[in-house]
Structure 1
Amino acid sequence: MPRAALVLDVVAMALVAVTALALRFGFGWFASALDVGRPIGLVTPLILLGWVAIIAALGGYRERLFGAGIEEYKIVLNASLLAAGLTAVASYLTNFELSRGFYLLTFILGPVVLVLQRALLRRALHRARRAGTACHDVIIAGAPANVDEISRVLSRESWLGYRVHGAIVPASYAAVETASGVPVLGTTDDAIEVLTEANADIVFVAGGALDGPDQMRELVYDLEHRQIQVIVAPSVTDVARERIRVRPVGGLPLVHIDPPRHTLAARRAKRVFDVAVTSAILLLAAPTMLAIATWVKLHDRGPVFFRQTRTGRHGEEFSCLKFRTMVTDAEARLARLQAEQGFEGGLFKMKDDPRITSPGKLLRRLSLDELPQLLNVLRGDMSLVGPRPPLPSEVATYDRLTQRRLKVRPGLTGLWQVSGRSDLTWEESVRLDLYYVDNWSMLQDLTILSRTAGAVLASRGAY
């Protein structure tokens, strides 16, 4: 991956430089290379080589950098700023008359193109990892419960590229596999032999694996010449990177976790953003909403809107609006359908629901039935982004942890929608909602809104 990134960076920079030269001097600048082109043609390769060297010096081609996090993009942007500054200083000190147009075009287009191609490279890497290639062979060392928790996360987030081959557990645990089915390859007493025989790339050290810091240090020493990376996995999941800080104190790496951010999600800035964006959307969508309302009404002469009581922030109930997509006696048929499907609780959804009308099928597939909820957002019942608005009957079954979904306003869209919508299990939906509540940020809201368009157009999980 570092080699691919290096080659793509060089190609991207070269294309940017050629584009900047062409825009500055015209597309016939090659013909006049002996005149205007020669000085700039000699300096341009030096600028690009220096740019690449700065990215490398800042660690932009380290293996661990690729695949996740924003550090990769930060390094590219910082290196671009540093390259721009050094180029300007060098031109001044050497009295070289560098074209201002070429300089501005190169260092404005360059960082954008570099970040874009890195994002595309990451997307290709994620696709390859989900297909089972470009993966690391992982052994998890720890207590069985901790092994299962880490294994579940790595299996769920397959784009990370960690393929679990087995577990190393304390000697007191006598079983051939953990509760979730991870094969037990050995005990922590013979960890080195197990890791060597399994030809593992990485060992995840979880809680319960080692007796103390001395044993951990010995493990690192024993593995230093075996090309096996050691990753310590604390017993913390579903916490955003922005809430975690690692601060070594006296040789002890302390993991600081900031408090959950649900209070930030209730502040005025988010509300102002909701009102401004929702008002603009309503103005643009008014003709479409009028056409939909007419279609629903003419289909069976029933009500245009479907009003349903939902639970909002702090457990306050409100009337949630939708365009009606089901027959008028849909609620009366619900109990029979639940019995036929063996429904046991949570959110009831079924494919090919016989209660859905012909207009309703299209409206649901494109999520157009939810447009009236923009009025709920304006009234303050909902937000543009947030957890799915639950029914009071669902809330009555919530445990203490799931109750945290009600810390913020429910959303017109959310992580649950861009991650699969109705294809998600109840547990997955709750996990995503809790992650949103605890790790809210305005940047995350903007990301979810941008991903919503793709999820809607692809009709993923919509029925």
Structure 2
Amino acid sequence: MQQGELVNPFPSARGHVADGTISRSVDDWEQRYRRAVITSDTVGTAFVVASIGIFFGARDAANWHEKWGILAFGTELLVLAALALSRAWAPVVLGQGAEEFRRLGRSLFAAVVVLALGGIALTSRNIKLWIFVAVPAIALVTMTQRYLLRLWLHKQRNEGRCLRPVLAAGSVATVLDLIARARRFPHLGWRVDAVCTTDGLGTHGDRLDGVPVVGRLTDVAGHVRRDGYRVVAVTPDPHWSPDRLQRLAWNLEGSDAEMVVAPVLMEVAGPRLHVDAVLGIPLLRVSMPAFTGGRRVVKEVVDRLGAALLLLLFAPLMVLVGLLVLADSRGGVVYRQRRVGKDGQEFTIFKFRTMVAGADRVRAELADRNEGAGLLFKLRQDPRVTRVGTVLRRYSLDELPQLFNVLTGSMSLVGPRPPLPEESAAYGPDIRRRLLVKPGLTGLWQISGRSDLPWDEAVRLDLRYVEDWSLALDAVILWKTLRAVLHGQGAY
């Protein structure tokens, strides 16, 4: 090792040695990452409660130990206990998905409830400070720390480190799809290292898209115990009867492998998917998508309040952008366009003008140069875009006036992309499900590549949002939007 070289605290998920065997250090990096999360949560919580105790307790130094020291120490222990009991440190949720932050939020909410009940029981007058200041501050600090740790982990995974070795077992077609998805989204932490198929063969003899086929479906448990794969991904194949899946699960008991079974009938995830035991049979219960109800009311309130606050925050920037648009080219500041919203109702969307005046009239002349996917019309080097417009589009600043659409209720902060009337008219029955909810200022499409996405992938993401919407998913999308905007990927 060269002097000054940094040592990676989370080593590679696996490495090959000279005799062809596999050296695995998955457990090592997983435990290190888990310890890093626990340490950051503990230190962040201690910092918040100590700061509040010292700052506010300094004015009451005579009774500091009784009134402030005990409350600070008690709040620290209560928050950490809630995190442990809610399994917010479980390795299976760390580093990906909204479930990590959902468990963190549930833990802190439970801590608030216990603090409130304790304050009532002890008639403490200082408890409000810990409920309304300390716990929200802890939430802000711990969520930020976890997000930064997650960014670091995703960076490692994109470079081929900190990946869980996966043994995929199923039909050739479904395993190929799994391999492609794992390579496309390495931040999820899977790397398919081996495959078992019905006949033990791949598309090229003993390999399947470059991954070695190590045996038949009947050999899965033996390979897992011998080679130590961390995930067994079971994909659809006629071989997998309920009895065989149950027997495989029994044979994997005692190993470190996690068995994951891909759904066969439909692609549903999130809060709509539940596992119930009916007549002794485990069944997947899929609840209906939530288009009304209490959560939708909460979303409406958050949309309106969020839009109002963002408009106040960005008011100076919007004034500056408006002046730059006027100075750059002739025409108005705001561009108005008809779009299709919830239930197919048309509305007028507002954006800062990024093209020369009369750009719509020459669109037909550029039709043969269209680079957009599917029904979208997009040009990477659109001659109609102004100099200021290029910068506004890159950082999505042209979309700031859409906050007025959110404020007036025609749009949401998070939702599918608002289509043009001519796009909507060409929708089939499946794609029209995008119109069951309000279009959004941002969405899965924006944090996943925007205009660079293939049409079918953009549609799949919009439909996934419609089907699996939740408040936690909205929060994650809003958080990731900032990074997507700063990178400017797919914005043109």
The alignment partner of 1:436 has SS state of helix
**Shift of residue 79, structure 1, vs aligned partner:** 7.3
1:208 equivalenced with 2:237 (yes/no): yes
TM-score norm. by structure 1 comes to 0.76
Structure 2 CA distance for aligned equivalents of residues 303 and 108 of structure 1: 45
TM-score norm. by structure 2 comes to 0.73
Describe the shift of the 1:72–1:209 C-alpha distance in structure 2 as closer, same or farther (beyond 3 A).
Answer: farther
Question: What percent of counterpart residues are identical?
Answer: 38
**Shift of residue 137, structure 1, vs aligned partner:** 0.3
| Aligned match for 2:196, one of 150, 164, 168 | 168
- On the 8 A contact 1:278/1:374 being kept in 2, the answer is yes
Structure 2 CA distance for aligned equivalents of residues 48 and 342 of structure 1: 55
The residue aligned with 1:403 is 432
Unaligned runs of 5+ residues in structure 1 are 93-98
The residue aligned with 2:162 is 134
- Give per-residue Cα distances to partners, 1:422-449, cap 9 Å, x unaligned: 3333233222211222223445445544
- Give per-residue Cα distances to partners, 1:10-51, cap 9 Å, x unaligned: 44455456445533654998xx9xx98799989998996787
Moved more, 186-195 or 333-342: 333-342
The residue aligned with 2:248 is 219
- On the 8 A contact 2:79/2:108 being kept in 1, the answer is no
- Give per-residue Cα distances to partners, 1:223-265, cap 9 Å, x unaligned: 2244322222323675342212222345432221111234569
- On the 8 A contact 1:377/1:383 being kept in 2, the answer is yes
The residue aligned with 2:108 is 77
The residue aligned with 1:2 is 34
- Give per-residue Cα distances to partners, 1:166-212, cap 9 Å, x unaligned: 33222397634899776543321222344356542210123226443
The residue aligned with 1:95 is none
| Aligned match for 1:147, one of 175, 199, 209 | 175
Moved more, 344-353 or 263-272: 263-272
Moved more, 109-118 or 171-180: 171-180
Number of residue equivalences: 453
- Give per-residue Cα distances to partners, 1:94-132, cap 9 Å, x unaligned: xxxxx9869965996365355554454444433433332
- On the 8 A contact 1:381/1:409 being kept in 2, the answer is yes
Describe the shift of the 1:236–1:132 C-alpha distance in structure 2 as closer, same or farther (beyond 3 A).
Answer: farther
In the TM superposition, 1:228-377 aligns within 5 A as 228-235=257-264, 239-263=268-292, 274=303, 277-278=306-307, 292-328=321-357, 330-331=359-360, 333-335=362-364, 337-340=366-369, 345-377=374-406
The residue aligned with 1:430 is 459
Structure 2 CA distance for aligned equivalents of residues 317 and 79 of structure 1: 43
| Aligned-residue CA RMSD (Å) | 4.6
The residue aligned with 1:23 is 55
**Shift of residue 298, structure 1, vs aligned partner:** 4.6
Moved more, 444-453 or 201-210: 444-453
| Aligned match for 2:215, one of 183, 186, 197 | 186
Structure 2 CA distance for aligned equivalents of residues 85 and 305 of structure 1: 49
Structure 2 CA distance for aligned equivalents of residues 116 and 297 of structure 1: 39
Structure 1 CA distance for aligned equivalents of residues 428 and 202 of structure 2: 33
Structure 1 CA distance for aligned equivalents of residues 302 and 78 of structure 2: 42
Describe the shift of the 1:350–1:379 C-alpha distance in structure 2 as closer, same or farther (beyond 3 A).
Answer: same
Moved more, 254-263 or 327-336: 327-336
Describe the shift of the 1:121–1:82 C-alpha distance in structure 2 as closer, same or farther (beyond 3 A).
Answer: farther
Structure 2 CA distance for aligned equivalents of residues 247 and 193 of structure 1: 30
Moved more, 132-141 or 18-27: 18-27
- On the 8 A contact 2:413/2:441 being kept in 1, the answer is yes
Unaligned runs of 5+ residues in structure 2 are 1-32
- On the 8 A contact 2:193/2:212 being kept in 1, the answer is yes
Which residue identity lines up with residue 66 of structure 1 in the other structure? L
Structure 2 CA distance for aligned equivalents of residues 325 and 101 of structure 1: 53
**Shift of residue 161, structure 1, vs aligned partner:** 0.9
The alignment partner of 1:350 has SS state of coil
Which residue identity lines up with residue 367 of structure 1 in the other structure? S
The alignment partner of 2:271 has SS state of helix
**Shift of residue 140, structure 1, vs aligned partner:** 1.6
Structure 2 CA distance for aligned equivalents of residues 175 and 461 of structure 1: 34
The residue aligned with 1:109 is 134
Which residue identity lines up with residue 169 of structure 1 in the other structure? T
Instruction: Give the number of the structure whose alpha-carbon radius of gyration is greater.
Output: 1
1:462 equivalenced with 2:491 (yes/no): yes
